[in-house]
Structures are given as C-alpha cells and as structure tokens.
Amino acid sequence: MFKLFNKLEDKPVIEKKYFEKYRNMLNHQDVLRLIEEYKTGDIVFEPIRNKLTEAEQEDLYIRIDKSDFLSPQEKIETIIGLMIILDDSFPEAPIVSRLGKVLGKEFMETIEKKCDELKADIAVKKLIRFIK
C-alpha cells in the first residue's frame, strides 16, 4: 500500500483518493517532506476545515485536480497545501502561489490576511517551543 497513507491515517477519504490517484506519478520524497511539514507545522490560525461542509471542501480539491496547468506532482503538493490551510497553518510560498492561481486571489488574500493578523502570535508560539 502507498506509504503516504501511513502518515495520513486520520485524514478523510476526500484527500486519500487524490493520493491514490496520483501515487505512481509522484516524487515521494517531496511529498513526504510536505506531509511532515503538515504534521509538525506551527498552528497559525484556528482550523477552518470544520467551518466548511464536505461538499465545499470537495469543490476546492476538484478545482485543484481539474487544473490544466498543474502537473500531477504540483496537484498533490497543492492538495497538501490546502490540507495545511484547512487544518490551521500556512504552506510554502510556491504552494500559496499555486493555490491562488487555482482557487482565486480572493481566497488566498483572505488566508494571507488571517496569517498576517496572527504573526505576533506565531512568534510567541515559536519562542515558547524554543524555550521548552
């Protein structure tokens, strides 16, 4: 079985199906690095996954999956980026850029604004983590 699923046991089926779809087209090292970032990244804001219906989430994933300008590797990285956003953090700049192109400028501006509002809180959390 695809080793990524071991890292994502608790993820909804909605995301697993995309990992399964692209599993033979991926650079697994890059994907595993992003999954590790997803699992261990700093909490930046309150998760928004619970504020969206499963249908709304599925729509976002479908828009990424149907994107005609992203390679399969970029699609799965962008899907992981969306997972990161839905679950409380902010992905790397290239992924943010792709999300903006696929999901729209307004979607990403809202997320970026939320991130900017909490930069001081991020710094405090990192300091606390460093001190421990």
pLDDT at 118: 61
Please state, in angstroms and as integers, the Cα–Cα distance from residue 2 to each residue in 18, 80, 95, 103, following that order. Answer: 12, 16, 23, 28
More confident residue, 37 or 123: 37
Look at residue 62 and tell me whether its pLDDT is greater than 90.
Answer: yes
Contact 101, 69 (CB under 8 A): yes
pLDDT at 13: 65
Look at residue 86 and tell me whether its pLDDT is greater than 80.
Answer: yes
Backbone angles phi, psi at 2, to 5 degrees: -55, 120
Q: If you average pLDDT over residues 72-99, what whole number do you get? A: 87
DSSP 8-state assignment for residue 87:
T
Q: How many CA atoms lie within 13 A of 98 on its CB side?
A: 25
Please state, in angstroms and as integers, the Cα–Cα distance from residue 104 to each residue in 34, 49, 60, 128, following that order. Answer: 22, 18, 11, 35
Helix %, strand %, coil % of the chain (to 5): 75, 0, 25
Backbone angles phi, psi at 46, to 5 degrees: -60, 135
pLDDT single digits (tens) 3-29: 344 445 555 567 777 777 877 777 777
Cα(36)–Cα(7) distance, integer angstroms: 8
